[in-house]
């Protein structure tokens, strides 16, 4: 069975790139444009991994991560956030909120696949 | 053909077994072990006389029921039942086979003087399966030619050992 | 040929050199320390550059100069022939070719980019491809934070990443696991100790734990810096052949090899076999106990026994080129004797087989080659008259495919005569007259005993020695023979052989009171047979499995087990070649690695079984001969007369 990844980002181009890359890598991808949408989708269940930007309107990434970790259906689900090189303190905050790992922007397609395989398996 | 006359020159050390009340002898040079009965796996499609397999110290060995070879009744064996593991040449190749015995009596030496030609009548075994006959405790006991018995079994089997197809459902 | 145009001469010379360069680079990937290969590559580059300058190929010379300089560093030992370097040089080689053949399409930017990559590859501290000398042993002890799993970290994936770095021993530390009442299933209570052998640097190991490095406990120490790790002997399911000539030892380029008496390897194999049996008994006992320590040890021993099995099987592998080599002389002599012109071409000589298999293949292969030269290929005059080259070709190829070795004997002769075979088969009573069989099946008939269409008996093929001898020899090796042929074009005889004689993976099933093992490699799938399907399929010979019709056999009936069927039977769908059959059994018990014991002469004719094995409880189980059962299932209600077994 294919694993399902929830991709959360307010940038439509990032969402598209992620969907293309991970879809081609054998995963199913569902999308959300902000933290609140992401949370709602996660509540519906069936998510095996979450990939999220941090800087988003309505509900930002850190807050969403915190709320996701309260959901029983997200226990054990890897949450990867996108971060820029310089934002070291964001990493701390995101991990404290319950994130599993990160990808540094800008990233290539194979880097994305690499991280996903690392935390999720094939 | 049995080589009666030549055997008269020497004595034979044999193992005496009982099968359905009859005594028979096997040359000890062929005997490898004597076992208590062990679980037997049936081989579907094998000729009934050799339709079992047993585990002898990690080796898979066929188990023969000589009662079927000699047309004997097949009453259940009692607590004295044993399996005698022998190694005999079958078509020239040394082969390990187990044979069932209702009882294993003794190892004894049949003295040269007591080894005689097979009387043509009065014996329940096929003459060609007998190496020679010896006297023991006043009775005749036949020394069976295991190699020939199994070679004959093998010859019979060829062309007949197809697993019978199921006749419809 | 054209001595007049120096540029043309250069082009040809360069083409040869580029080919040499490419071969050397490809070989270098597998033997990065091979000085000969490095020198060959360097010399090729050097000459291309030098001659290029002389004959006016300035762009080529200039570009190649840089590549040569870079490679010179490798030659001097200042840089390693890493996979990325080799890749760049291969790309550079393509660029050189472009510069020579189509200088106008060559892009400056591409050339510059390549040279940059070249520099980068030289500078990169990447390890050389599979150089065992730089392997280092590490010991890691790590404990993840309690909530790591809940936060999405999967320790098993981390362990897999470690395994990808090199051979690992992983031992779990259960000491911090609380009693059941206090156990939080989402918490990570287990720590691990891992011994890892890798050529990767420390940073690569730490990289595995990138996301949790800050919160976890990690002790990472080098155990030894000595290049002590021997390269493991080739495993039986390797798919990449070693690029060495056929008569080279199968060991790696760096470690040596020793001669071992064949009998000693046989003993070793027997002992390993006994160990595997004993281990499976231990597994049974461990399964029945609640003693955790016994269970752990049993698992450990199982792992070790299987590794030992694989290593031992690997030690018995020998390249088939040893055997093939003998046949050149055979074909040469045969050709002379029969007045034909035949060459023998070989392929796949590096394909490895168990050594006993190779010995037992010699006779059947000799026989098949004789047949090919004698009956398959016509005289040079006949061939010329048919518009074929006078010289006939016999080919011997070997390759691995899945769990099998395929060995083919091909010839470009007349091919098998369908009509004659059909006629002979009908004469012999093997075929009802007028029966139409697909080619593959018709040709298979020539392997029946007593079948011989040769009008004359030559001194070579002998009287009455037919393909049935070959077939029996191959079946004794648990293999099979496929025959294909095209009239006027030639024939191909393919032997399918298992990789090893001694041990197979099987599925243990129960039919009635008896237990049987089905070789895993023959199994496609298992499905349930509900009571309704069972009833519905009475009187039919096919089962409907997800829409396709599969012929089936109720083993209960085939084996006359005399018992009532279980309520929920299973169908094990097996295949041999491209035919399938469903075997209905009462119960599927589980996987079973079995050491195969051959059946004695007294049972050799029972076609349904290929051997026997000893189960964990000491009883004997029979191993099913799938090919026989598949054929049985196919022909159950066709009106073929019973073939003599």
Report the distance separating Cα C122 and Cα C130, nearest Å: 17
Going by C-alpha positions, the residue among B2, B19, B29 that lies closest to residue B78 is: B19
% pLDDT > 70, chain A: 98
pLDDT of residue B75: 79
Report the distance separating Cα C484 and Cα A37, nearest Å: 62
Tell whether the model's pLDDT for residue C463 goes beyond 60. Answer: no
Q: Do B90 and C602 touch (CB under 8 A)?
A: yes
Q: Do C186 and A76 touch (CB under 8 A)?
A: yes
Tell whether the model's pLDDT for residue C3 goes beyond 50. Answer: no
The boundaries of the domain holding residue A38 are: 4-120
pLDDT in tens, C64-114: 988 988 888 888 888 888 878 888 888 898 889 888 888 887 777 788 888
Same domain, C507 and C494: no
Same domain, C310 and C325: no
pLDDT in tens, C26-76: 878 777 888 888 888 988 998 888 888 878 888 898 889 889 888 888 888
pLDDT band at C354 (very low <50, low <70, confident <90, very high): confident
Report the distance separating Cα C220 and Cα C207, nearest Å: 12
Q: What is the mean pLDDT of chain B?
A: 78
Same domain, C374 and C494: yes
Q: Do C152 and A100 touch (CB under 8 A)?
A: yes
Q: Do B154 and C601 touch (CB under 8 A)?
A: yes
In a domain, C238, yes or no: no
Tokens coding B93 = 């190749």
- B112–chain C nearest CA distance, Å: 34
Q: What is the CATH number of the domain that holds C494?
A: 3.30.565.10
Give whichever of A32-46, C18-32, C242-256, C495-509 has the largest mean pLDDT.
A32-46
Same domain, C487 and C358: yes
Using the structure block, give the residue that is written with the tokens 């091919």: C415
pLDDT of residue C636: 59
Give me the residues paired with residue A103 across strands: A82
Report the distance separating Cα C372 and Cα C374, nearest Å: 6
Contacts of C597 in chain B (CB under 8 A): 59-60
- What's the mean pLDDT in C548-573? 84
Phi and psi, residue C358, nearest 5° = -60, -45
Answer whether A77's CB lies under 8 Å from A49's CB.
yes
pLDDT band at C590 (very low <50, low <70, confident <90, very high): confident
The domain total for chain C is 5
Answer whether A100's CB lies under 8 Å from A80's CB.
yes
Q: Which of B35, B56, B165 to mutate to test the interface with C (most CBs of C within 10 A)?
A: B165
Same domain, C296 and C332: no
pLDDT in tens, A10-43: 888 889 889 988 988 889 999 999 999 999 999 9
Looking at C586-645, which runs of residues are DSSP E strands? 587-595, 609-614, 620-624
pLDDT band at C452 (very low <50, low <70, confident <90, very high): low
Tell whether the model's pLDDT for residue C230 goes beyond 50. Answer: no
In a domain, C565, yes or no: yes
Q: What is the CATH number of the domain that holds C31?
A: 1.20.120.160
- What's the mean pLDDT in B6-12? 59
Please, which residues 104-133 of chain B have a Cβ atom closer than 8 Å to chain C? none
Choose the final residue of a domain: C74, C101, C123.
C123
Same domain, C471 and C326: yes
Q: Do B154 and C620 touch (CB under 8 A)?
A: no
Q: Which of C198-202, C523-527, C592-596 has the lowest mean pLDDT?
A: C592-596
Tell whether the model's pLDDT for residue B67 goes beyond 90. Answer: no
Residue A114 falls in which region: left (phi positive, over 0), alpha (psi -120 to 50) or beta: alpha
List the alpha helices (DSSP H) in chain B.
4-7, 66-69, 146-157
- What's the mean pLDDT in C307-327? 80
Q: Do C622 and B53 touch (CB under 8 A)?
A: yes
Q: Which of A98-102, C329-333, C448-452, C578-582 has the lowest mean pLDDT?
A: C448-452
**How far, in whole angstroms, is CA C318 from its chain's centroid?**
13
Q: Is B94 exposed, middle or buried (0-12, 13-18, 19+ CB in 10 A)?
A: exposed
Tell whether the model's pLDDT for residue A80 goes beyond 90. Answer: yes
**How far, in whole angstroms, is CA A4 from its chain's centroid?**
11
- What's the mean pLDDT in C131-144? 79
pLDDT band at A48 (very low <50, low <70, confident <90, very high): very high
Scanning every residue of chain C, which has its alpha carbon at the shortest distance from the alpha carbon of B50? C602
pLDDT of residue B166: 35
- What's the mean pLDDT in C348-371? 83
pLDDT in tens, C147-158: 999 999 999 999
Same domain, C422 and C311: no
Q: Do A101 and C161 touch (CB under 8 A)?
A: no
Q: Is C603 exposed, middle or buried (0-12, 13-18, 19+ CB in 10 A)?
A: buried
CA atoms within 13 A on the CB side of A33: 6
Q: Do C152 and A118 touch (CB under 8 A)?
A: no
Q: Helix axis angle, C108-123 relative to C83-101, nearest 10°?
A: 160
Q: Is C141 exposed, middle or buried (0-12, 13-18, 19+ CB in 10 A)?
A: middle
% pLDDT > 70, chain B: 78
pLDDT of residue C634: 67
C210 near A CB under 8 A: yes
* Structural domains of chain B in order of their starting residue, each with its CATH number: 4-157 (2.40.50.180)
Tell whether the model's pLDDT for residue C248 goes beyond 60. Answer: no
Answer whether B80's CB lies under 8 Å from B37's CB.
no
Same domain, C352 and C434: yes
Same domain, C91 and C114: yes
Same domain, C220 and C355: no
Residues 6+ apart with CB under 8 A from A30: A4, A5, A6, A7, A41, A47
Rounded to whole angstroms, what are the CA distances from B87 to B29, B30, B65, B95, C151? Answer: 9, 5, 15, 5, 67
- What's the mean pLDDT in C433-456? 75
Please, which residues 92-121 of chain A have a Cβ atom closer than 8 Å to chain C? 95, 98-102, 118-121
In a domain, C252, yes or no: no
Going by C-alpha positions, the residue among B5, B9, B12, B23 that lies closest to residue B142 is: B23
Of A76, A79, A119, the CB nearest to C157: A119
Phi and psi, residue C108, nearest 5° = -55, -45
Q: Do C153 and A119 touch (CB under 8 A)?
A: yes
pLDDT of residue C640: 27
Q: Which of B5-19, C122-136, C170-184, C601-615 has the lowest mean pLDDT?
A: C122-136
ipTM confidence score: 0.90
Using the structure block, give the residue that is written with the tokens 């390269």: C231
pLDDT band at B1 (very low <50, low <70, confident <90, very high): very low
pLDDT band at C124 (very low <50, low <70, confident <90, very high): low
Can the peptide bond before residue A106 be classed as cis, meaning omega within 30 degrees of 0? yes
Tell whether the model's pLDDT for residue C396 goes beyond 80. Answer: yes
Report the distance separating Cα C335 and Cα C369, nearest Å: 11
Report the distance separating Cα C105 and Cα C387, nearest Å: 44
Looking at C412-555, which runs of residues are DSSP E strands? 480-486, 490-498, 503-511, 514-519, 523-529, 542-545, 548-554
Size of interface B-C (CB pairs under 8 A): 107
The boundaries of the domain holding residue C412 are: 320-498
Tell whether the model's pLDDT for residue C252 goes beyond 50. Answer: no
Same domain, C159 and C83: no
Tell whether the model's pLDDT for residue C546 goes beyond 90. Answer: no
Same domain, C206 and C335: no
Contacts of B54 in chain C (CB under 8 A): 620
pLDDT band at C284 (very low <50, low <70, confident <90, very high): confident
State the CB neighbour count (10 A cutoff) for residue B135: 14
Using the structure block, give the residue that is written with the tokens 């320390």: C33
Q: Which residue has the higher pLDDT, A89 or A66?
A: A66
Q: What is the CATH number of the domain that holds C562?
A: 2.30.30.40
Residues 6+ apart with CB under 8 A from C150: A69, A75, A76, C186, C187
Report the distance separating Cα C405 and Cα C314, nearest Å: 15
Q: Do C154 and A121 touch (CB under 8 A)?
A: yes
- What's the mean pLDDT in C550-573? 84
pLDDT of residue C645: 31
Answer whether C551's CB lies under 8 Å from C541's CB.
yes
pLDDT band at A116 (very low <50, low <70, confident <90, very high): very high
Q: What is the CATH number of the domain that holds A39?
A: 3.40.50.2300
Q: Which of B58, B157, B163, B168 to mutate to test the interface with C (most CBs of C within 10 A)?
A: B163
pLDDT in tens, B93-124: 788 999 999 999 888 888 755 556 555 555 66
Q: What is the CATH number of the domain that holds C190?
A: 3.30.70.1110
The domain total for chain A is 1
Report the distance separating Cα C131 and Cα C182, nearest Å: 48
Residue C540 falls in which region: left (phi positive, over 0), alpha (psi -120 to 50) or beta: beta
Question: Which chains have 3 or more CB–CB distances shorter than 8 Å to chain B?
Answer: C
Tell whether the model's pLDDT for residue C415 goes beyond 80. Answer: yes
């Amino acid at each position: 069975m294919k694993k399902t990844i929830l991709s959360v980002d307010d940038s439509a181009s990032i969402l598209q790139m992620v969907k293309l890359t991970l879809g081609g890598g054998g995963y199913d991808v569902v999308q959300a444009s902000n933290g609140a949408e992401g949370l709602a989708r996660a509540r519906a269940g069936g998510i095996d991994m979450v990939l999220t930007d941090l800087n988003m309107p309505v509900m930002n990434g850190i807050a969403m991560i915190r709320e996701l970790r309260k959901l029983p259906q997200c226990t054990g689900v890897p949450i990867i956030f996108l971060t820029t090189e310089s934002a070291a303190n964001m990493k701390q905050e995101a991990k404290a909120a319950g994130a599993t790992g990160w990808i540094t922007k800008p990233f290539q397609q194979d880097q994305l696949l690499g991280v996903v395989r690392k935390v999720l398996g094939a | 053909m049995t080589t009666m006359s030549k055997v008269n020159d020497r004595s034979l050390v044999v193992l005496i077994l009982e099968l359905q009340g009859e005594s028979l002898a096997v040359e000890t040079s062929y005997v490898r072990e004597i076992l208590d009965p062990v679980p037997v796996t049936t081989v579907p499609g094998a000729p009934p006389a050799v339709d079992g397999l047993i585990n002898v110290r990690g080796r898979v060995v066929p188990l023969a029921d000589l009662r079927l070879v000699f047309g004997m009744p097949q009453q259940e064996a009692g607590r004295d039942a044993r399996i005698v593991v022998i190694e005999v040449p079958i078509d020239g190749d040394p082969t390990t086979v187990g044979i069932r015995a209702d009882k294993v009596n003794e190892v004894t030496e049949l003295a040269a003087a007591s080894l005689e030609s097979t009387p043509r009548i009065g014996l329940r075994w096929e003459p060609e399966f007998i190496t020679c006959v010896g006297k023991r405790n006043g009775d005749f006991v036949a020394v069976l030619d295991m190699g020939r018995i199994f070679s004959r079994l093998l010859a019979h089997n060829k062309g007949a050992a197809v697993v019978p197809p199921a006749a419809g459902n | 040929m054209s001595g007049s145009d120096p540029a043309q001469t250069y082009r040809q010379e360069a083409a040869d050199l580029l080919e040499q360069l490419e071969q050397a680079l490809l070989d270098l990937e597998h033997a990065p320390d091979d000085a000969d290969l490095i020198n060959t590559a360097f010399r090729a580059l050097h000459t291309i550059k030098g001659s290029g300058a002389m004959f006016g190929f300035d762009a080529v010379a200039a570009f190649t100069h840089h590549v040569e300089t870079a490679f010179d560093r490798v030659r001097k030992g200042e840089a390693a022939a890493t996979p990325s370097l080799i890749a760049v040089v291969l790309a550079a080689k393509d660029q050189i070719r472009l510069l020579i053949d189509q200088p106008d399409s060559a892009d400056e930017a591409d050339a510059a980019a390549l040279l940059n990559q070249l520099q980068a590859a030289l500078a990169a501290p990447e390890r050389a491809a599979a150089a065992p000398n730089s392997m280092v042993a590490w010991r890691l002890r790590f404990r993840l934070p309690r909530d790591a799993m809940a936060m999405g970290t999967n320790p098993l994936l981390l362990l897999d990443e470690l395994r990808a770095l090199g051979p690992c021993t992983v031992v779990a530390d259960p000491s911090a696991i609380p009693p059941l009442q206090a156990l939080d299933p989402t918490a990570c209570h287990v720590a691990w100790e891992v011994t890892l052998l890798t050529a990767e640097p420390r940073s690569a190991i730490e990289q595995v734990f990138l996301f949790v490095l800050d919160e976890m406990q990690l002790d990472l120490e080098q155990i030894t810096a000595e290049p002590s790790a021997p390269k493991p002997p080739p495993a039986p399911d390797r798919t990449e052949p070693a690029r060495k000539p056929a008569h080279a030892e199968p060991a790696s380029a760096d470690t040596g090899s020793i001669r071992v008496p064949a009998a000693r390897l046989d003993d070793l194999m027997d002992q390993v076999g006994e160990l595997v049996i004993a281990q499976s008994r231990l597994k049974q006992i461990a399964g029945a106990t609640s003693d955790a320590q016994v269970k752990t040890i049993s698992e450990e021993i199982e792992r070790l026994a299987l590794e030992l099995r694989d290593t031992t099987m690997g030690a018995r592998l020998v390249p088939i080129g040893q055997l093939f080599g003998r046949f050149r002389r055979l074909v040469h002599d045969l050709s002379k004797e029969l007045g034909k012109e035949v060459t023998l071409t070989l392929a796949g000589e590096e394909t490895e087989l168990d050594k006993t298999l190779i010995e037992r293949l010699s006779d059947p292969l000799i026989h098949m080659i004789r047949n090919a030269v004698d009956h398959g290929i016509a005289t040079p005059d006949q061939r010329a008259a048919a518009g074929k080259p006078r010289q006939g070709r016999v080919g011997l190829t070997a390759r691995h495919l899945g769990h099998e070795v395929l060995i083919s004997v091909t010839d470009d002769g007349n091919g098998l005569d369908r009509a004659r075979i059909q006629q002979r088969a009908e004469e012999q009573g093997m075929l009802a007259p007028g029966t139409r069989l697909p080619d593959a099946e018709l040709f298979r008939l020539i392997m029946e005993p007593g079948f011989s269409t040769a009008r004359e008996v030559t001194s070579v093929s002998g009287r009455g020695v037919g393909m049935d001898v070959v077939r029996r020899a191959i079946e004794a090796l648990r293999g099979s023979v496929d025959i294909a042929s095209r009239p006027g074009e030639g024939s191909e005889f393919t032997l399918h052989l298992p990789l090893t004689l001694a041990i197979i993976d099987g599925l243990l099933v129960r039919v009635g009171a008896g237990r049987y093992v089905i070789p895993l490699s023959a199994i496609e799938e298992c499905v349930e047979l509900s009571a309704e399907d069972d009833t519905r399929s009475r009187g039919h010979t096919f089962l409907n499995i997800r829409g396709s019709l599969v012929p089936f056999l109720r083993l209960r009936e085939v084996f006359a087990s005399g018992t009532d069927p279980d309520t929920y039977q299973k169908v094990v769908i097996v295949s041999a070649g491209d035919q399938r059959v469903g075997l209905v059994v009462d119960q599927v018990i589980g996987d079973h690695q079995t050491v195969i014991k051959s059946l004695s002469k007294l049972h050799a004719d029972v076609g349904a079984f290929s051997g026997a094995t000893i189960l964990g409880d000491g009883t004997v189980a029979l191993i099913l001969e799938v090919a026989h059962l598949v054929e049985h299932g196919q022909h159950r209600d066709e009106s073929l007369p019973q073939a003599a077994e």
